[in-house]
Structure formats: C-alpha cells, structure tokens
Amino acid sequence: YTLFKTISVANIRRIFMSNCIIAQSGGPTAVINSSVVGLLKGNKKMKAFDNVYGGLNGIEGILERNIINLSEISDEEISYFRFTPSSGLGSCRYKLKDPETNEEEYDRLMKIFHEYDIKAFFYVGGNDSMDTINKLSKYAKKKNIDIKFIGIPKTIDNDLMYTDHTPGFGSAAKFIGTTAIETYLDSSVYTNNGIFILETMGRDTGWLAASACLARIDNKPVADFIYLPEVVFDEEKFLKDVRKRFEENNKVYIVVSEGIRNKDGKFISEIESSTQDKFGHAQLGGVCNYLKNIIIENGITNRVKALELGILQRCSMHCASDMDLKEAYDVGKCAYQYAVDGETGKMVAINRTSNFLYDVSYTLVDTEKIANQVKYFPKEWINEEGNFVTQEAYDYFKPLIKNMPELAFEGNLPKYKVFNL
C-alpha cells in the first residue's frame, strides 16, 4: 500500500465537513505518539477531515468526554510530542462489554461521536485494542452507523498476529540489547566474577528476551543463556547448565523472560495472590530473583546479581530505534488513508518484503483475526537445548533497531510534550 496514495475527490466529498478521533490504549511504547503524528500529518496534507481530535485515556476517557482538538496544536508542540515516549494522550485498560448483551456503552460512545461529527475512529494498541475495534465496527455495521474503525498496531511484546512486527518492539529490543552489553561489562570486571540475571517483559511470548541476542562484543553474544516462555523451563537442567558454565568461565550472563513456565504450565514468577489486570492477565515479575535464590541455594555461587528491566523497556526514548519511530509514523499515516478509502474493522499490518536490504509494505488485516490472539516466538528459532536462539532470530531483529532518533533538548535533557497531564 503506497503511503502517499492520492485520495479521490469523491472520497473527500464523502467525508467533507467531518472529523476523526484517535486514542491510545494498553501499555505504552517509546514510539506510540509517532503514529498519532503520522495521522495528523496525513490529514494536514490531504485535508480529508476538518479536525483530528484526541481522546485522552482511550475509550474510557472518550466516554467521559475527555477530548482535545489536535488540529489546533502548534507544529512545534506536535514535533516534541512525536519524540516523546509513553502514551502522550494517556492510556487505559478498558474492556468494552459484549454488545450482544450490553449496548449501553456503545450507545453512549456513538452519541459522543455524533456530537463531535466523528466519521472515523483510530485506536493505537495491541490485542485488546483490536478487540475493541472489532466490536465497534460490528456494532456500527449492525446499527447502520457511518463511522470507520481502524486499528493502529503497537506493543513492545511483538505478539500481534498477521504483522511481521509491531511498532514499539524495535525500540524495546534496542534498549534490551544495549542494557545487556552494558551490564555484561559491568558484571565482568573482577577476577572472581559471578552470575548476572537480566529479566525482560513478556507474559506469553519471548520476543523481548530473545532480542538480547543482539548484544555482542567482538561478534560474540554476551548472553550465555536465554530462556523463553515458548519452551518449558526445566529447573534441574537450568542449574546443571549454569553450574557447568560458571565452572568453565567463572561468570555467567543469563537473560530470562518474565513469562517462563514449568512443566505444569505454571508461571515461575506468578504472584501468590494471583493478582490480575483488568483483562484477567496474571501480573508477573520477579523471576530473576527466584532464579538468583535457587542458584545460591544450590551452592553454585553467592555472587549473583539480578536486574528486572520493568517499564524501562517501553519508555526509553533516549535509546530508541529511529527505524521503529519511522514505521510507527507510517502505520498512522496508512491508517488515515485506509479510513478515507472506506475501510473499517481492520488493522494496519507491516509486511517485511526484504531482509537483506530491509524494506516493508503496509496492508490491512481484519481485527477479528487479531483480537485476543497471540503470535509466539518461532520454536524453530530456539536451539535444541532450549536455552538460546538461532541466527535466524538475530537476522530478524537486526534491521529493527537501526539508527537513533534526533531528540530536542532543554537543560541538557530531552524535551518532551504530552497532552494527558
């Protein structure tokens, strides 16, 4: 799909004197605001809508009429906004009820859209956000409401189906790789080194942890072992492998996903109280400390350090990928053009057309195929021992972390702009 496709006069007239609205949902990324700016710039050039509104705090905020007019914001502020990490419009974890059993929220939302003369709604998000787009588009069709609903992908987890990768992932991968190199060097300074464990996000999939394979010194991976949720975590084998490597090298560097499970399918790091988020997902974290404790308890060494990266993976614009920032912008611009062309109930997908000379194209996928589905890390990209990844994985990740964005600075710190505070 061509990014700068000419919009026909007929399509412009069809939505003449109308507005659109965009909102963000779910966990933030370093480049999520770039998708909003891509849509804004598309409209500024082609002028299919009179105004582009922003819903603050996603669907939840729109239902409370927390809406601003992004078309009235200065170009300078929008430029700062594009290079700002996290959800500059605010986010939410709000799950719409099934319209077959409860239409009240849908009626309220459509009334608000009517008041603002909204003809297109764009939602920047992941699996659950695509579920929202799917429900809204079906409801609008059932009620014969002329509003287009388009999903714009984002998630650092890289777990959306039918897209090669998701905006936000490349920057998270770059941060993880950089952090792995730096902490490896820090943990390797003594004659009697110990064991370092780096924990990444990844409730269901290992994309983030696997990206640590990018971290290399003299073309040699800094990580000795990488453990992913796609492979059953065998505690006995883990201890045996770590003990052997430590005896050989006097140091071991381990990368682990928070979502690793045992043979019974139980999360290693699952909180005893089984705390869940609003979507019913188990809230994880702390697996690195569990591994640290069993290493010490089994007498391998007492010199064990553990680092849980946490939210730094999704908000580190200072270590973002410029390629990621560009693609986030492009999917926003494509979403705009697809809506003007009359598409609805779909998400913009990224297709890798070349890996050697990296290139992508953009297409649409029905959100029904994406909603509540998970794209797992390919098992064929995991080694036979289940404790590292293959060259194919490295080749897949490498182009996604290309270049650094040029940030604006104020007082020697990055200058950022948000609208939800």
What does each C-alpha distance from 57 to 15, 76, 90, 131, 266 come to in angstroms? 26, 23, 4, 17, 33
Q: Report d(CA 247, CA 385) in Å as an integer.
A: 19
Contact status, residue 105 vs residue 94, Cβ threshold 8 Å = no
Contact status, residue 365 vs residue 349, Cβ threshold 8 Å = yes
Contact status, residue 133 vs residue 312, Cβ threshold 8 Å = no
Q: Report d(CA 336, CA 152) in Å as an integer.
A: 10
**What are the structure tokens assigned to 172, written together?**
């998270």
Q: Report d(CA 321, CA 18) in Å as an integer.
A: 35
Q: Which residue has the tokens 């297709």?
A: 351
What does each C-alpha distance from 300 to 224, 241, 251 come to in angstroms? 16, 11, 11
**What are the structure tokens assigned to 262, written together?**
């045992």
The rounded Cα 155 to chain-centroid distance in angstroms is: 1
Contact status, residue 164 vs residue 118, Cβ threshold 8 Å = no
Return the SS3 of 290: helix
349, β-bridge pairs: 363
Q: Is 395 a catalytic residue?
A: no
Contact status, residue 241 vs residue 268, Cβ threshold 8 Å = no
**Catalytic residue chosen out of the listed positions 50, 128, 146, 157:** 157
Contact status, residue 137 vs residue 368, Cβ threshold 8 Å = no
Nearest to 57 by CA among 86, 14, 34, 81: 86
69, β-bridge pairs: 53
Catalytic residues: 157
